[in-house]
């Protein structure tokens, strides 16, 4: 047994799941394409699975994380503004430029309008970036998501298919905000229990996301094969442009290097699991494909960038 009271093998497996997340997503993609019957049960459970992930995220947050937002309002506000402008507008531009079919265009835009994901915090840590800033941006962007994600999706994707901002708002409250709030409450009042189960959170989160990706692939294999090249270009450019512009804008604002890295990663890495869930519930199932592909892609580019930056100590001066 480990110090948390959990079997040591479970803790080791959980750490490995987080470390090799991208490989597990690739494996899930293969399972979904070859043995779709194995993941057929996942479809109706996608909102629940994402709620579990968000609850786990909430359990890792405390009042200190939100106080950090108040201590650095300028930096957090800049990062969140970049998040909700760069990624939605780049997604819209790519959908137009690549002439994506309506359901795929909506899926790409939905990825862009979602907040950053918790993976960005881990990647920022590995990249020797400002982790406290990363956590603050993720937290604040997630709190704003119930309002900004529906409105931005309605504005940018409404020309392709009907978008119900009210329905998206309610879904994000149910799938994201309420579970995170419950997790924060659990952290506050059940701290000892939360501390014991926290080492298992990477395993739970990775398992849920891999299951969601596998189902999306299994349900849309024909469309994926038909649009693979164009969709890959859209997803890859979306992520890479987000990383590049996030860093460039942080540099223009003369932020220290560690903060530039945090902003770049936060802008470029999205909560693609949320995009998949919202797409599967509210739009054509094919709209979930971009989010599933983004899950694989940004969990390859993020760690690759972190590996590069980890070799270069950040300059803390302006």
CA distances to 150, 217, 317 from 168, rounded to whole Å, are 6, 23, 42
How many Cβ atoms are within 10 Å of 125's Cβ, its own excluded? 17
Domain assignment present for residue 107? The answer is yes
Domain assignment present for residue 193? The answer is yes
Residue 317: per-residue pLDDT: 43
Residue 68: per-residue pLDDT: 61
* Count of domains forming the chain: 1
Residue 318: per-residue pLDDT: 39
Domain assignment present for residue 316? The answer is no
Domain assignment present for residue 166? The answer is yes
Domain assignment present for residue 2? The answer is no
Whole-prediction pTM: 0.80
Query: Each residue of 234-257: b (16+ CB within 10 Å) or e?
Result: bbbbbbbbbbebbbebbeeeebbb
Residue 1: per-residue pLDDT: 47
CATH code, 106: 1.20.1530.20
What is the tens place of the pLDDT at every residue in 78-110?
A: 888 999 999 999 999 999 999 998 889 999 999
The rounded percent of the chain whose pLDDT value lies above 70 is 90
- Ranges of residues in the chain with a pLDDT under 70 are 1-6, 11, 13, 16-22, 61-70, 315-318
Residue 62: per-residue pLDDT: 67
Residue 2: per-residue pLDDT: 47
Domain assignment present for residue 318? The answer is no
Domain that holds residue 299: 8-310
Domain assignment present for residue 72? The answer is yes
What is the tens place of the pLDDT at every residue in 249-299?
A: 999 988 889 889 999 999 998 888 788 878 877 887 788 888 888 877 887
């Amino acid at each position: 047994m480990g110090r948390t009271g959990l079997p040591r093998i479970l803790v080791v497996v959980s750490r490995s799941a987080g470390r090799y997340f991208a490989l597990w997503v690739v494996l899930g993609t293969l399972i979904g394409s070859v043995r779709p019957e194995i993941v057929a049960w996942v479809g109706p459970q996608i909102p629940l699975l994402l709620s579990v992930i968000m609850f786990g995220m909430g359990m890792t947050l405390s009042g200190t994380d939100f106080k950090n937002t108040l201590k650095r309002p300028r930096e957090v506000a800049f990062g969140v503004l970049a998040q909700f402008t760069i990624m939605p507008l780049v997604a819209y531009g790519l959908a137009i430029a690549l002439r994506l079919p309506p359901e795929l265009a909506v899926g790409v835009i939905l990825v862009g309008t979602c907040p950053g994901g918790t993976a960005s915090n881990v990647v920022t840590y590995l990249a020797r970036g400002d982790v406290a800033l990363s956590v603050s941006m993720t937290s604040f962007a997630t709190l704003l998501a119930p309002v900004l994600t529906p409105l931005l999706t309605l504005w940018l994707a409404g020309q392709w298919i009907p978008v119900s901002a009210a329905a998206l708002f309610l879904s994000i409250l149910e799938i994201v905000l309420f579970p995170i709030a419950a997790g924060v409450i659990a952290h506050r009042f059940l701290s000892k229990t939360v501390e014991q189960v926290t080492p298992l959170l990477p395993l739970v989160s990775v398992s849920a996301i891999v299951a969601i990706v596998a189902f999306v692939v299994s349900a849309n294999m024909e469309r994926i094969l038909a649009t693979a090249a164009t969709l890959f270009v859209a997803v890859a450019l979306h992520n890479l442009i987000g990383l590049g512009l996030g860093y460039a804008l942080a540099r223009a604002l003369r932020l220290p290097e560690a903060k530039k890295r945090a902003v770049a990663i936060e802008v470029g890495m999205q909560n693609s699991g949320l995009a998949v869930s919202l797409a599967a519930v509210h739009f054509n199932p094919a709209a979930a494909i971009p989010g599933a592909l983004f899950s694989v892609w940004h969990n390859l580019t993020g760690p690759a960038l972190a590996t590069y930056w980890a070799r270069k100590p950040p300059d803390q001066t302006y």
